Structure 1
């Protein structure tokens, strides 16, 4: 019986290594596109963009920071009501769409009024991935890109 113990241990270790190899995924691979901010008409603004996750595991957008405001939050719109949320899920192989009429970034108490043609710098913070810096081009107030 004592001779089997090393074999059992070796088999268990081998199985553990094989399972570890199978469970290792590529992690989140995030890419941002379609970013913009409509020119604000008062001391608040909204930001919109798409985050694509080409990786093998999900991530979450947990916050956004910007020098244009000390009060930047993320919101969702459901049943025509806007509410602040703590995070947005970004599924593996999926997207997070921040768009007019839906989920978006809110900038409160703007330090300056960005004008059409300028860019606003933001930093997106995630649960797993490192931060991503994004430039939001300021578009006309009514700008609303068409989905393809």
Structure 2
């Protein structure tokens, strides 16, 4: 039995290292689709998009834009909107920022974009590098159909 103890210990260590290599530490692989901003009717605006992730998990931590110095991320729950510090972008999943749910909020707009304009934003993540997105401005009531 004494000869087996080192062998069992080595196997346990090797198995533990192999499992660690298979953890969810894989790099995120992010792609942004479906971005839009309804034409604002005041000095505030909202932005919506989908972040698809074919890699490891990540978090959207902030958004910046030359349109406003006050860009935050919000969620709406039970018809109440509140600012959040981040949104999860799950491994192999997606973050869907949509009307009535999570969204980007632009306050104190420097100018009011019109339908047909494009607003540049930069999405900042916990692990992945920033992603620049050109967000088209749609009519105020625009709401894309879900597939």
Shorter-normalised TM range: 0.7 to 0.9
**What's the offset of the Cα at 1:34?**
0.2
| 2:26 aligned partner | 26
CA distance in 2, matches of 1:19, 1:122: 38
| 2:100 aligned partner | 101
C-alpha distance 24-147 of structure 1, shift in aligned 2 (>3 A) = closer
| 1:134 aligned partner | 133
Which one is further off, 8-17 or 115-124?
8-17
C-alpha distance 46-24 of structure 1, shift in aligned 2 (>3 A) = closer
CA distance in 1, matches of 2:78, 2:7: 61
C-alpha distance 100-83 of structure 1, shift in aligned 2 (>3 A) = same
Question: Pairwise mapping of residues 1-148 of structure 1 onto structure 2 (< 5 A)?
Answer: 14-15=14-15, 17-23=17-23, 25-55=25-55, 57-148=56-147
- Provide the TM-score with structure 1 as the length reference: 0.87
Alignment gaps of 5+ in structure 1: none
- Provide the TM-score with structure 2 as the length reference: 0.87
Alignment gaps of 5+ in structure 2: none
CA distance in 2, matches of 1:21, 1:48: 35
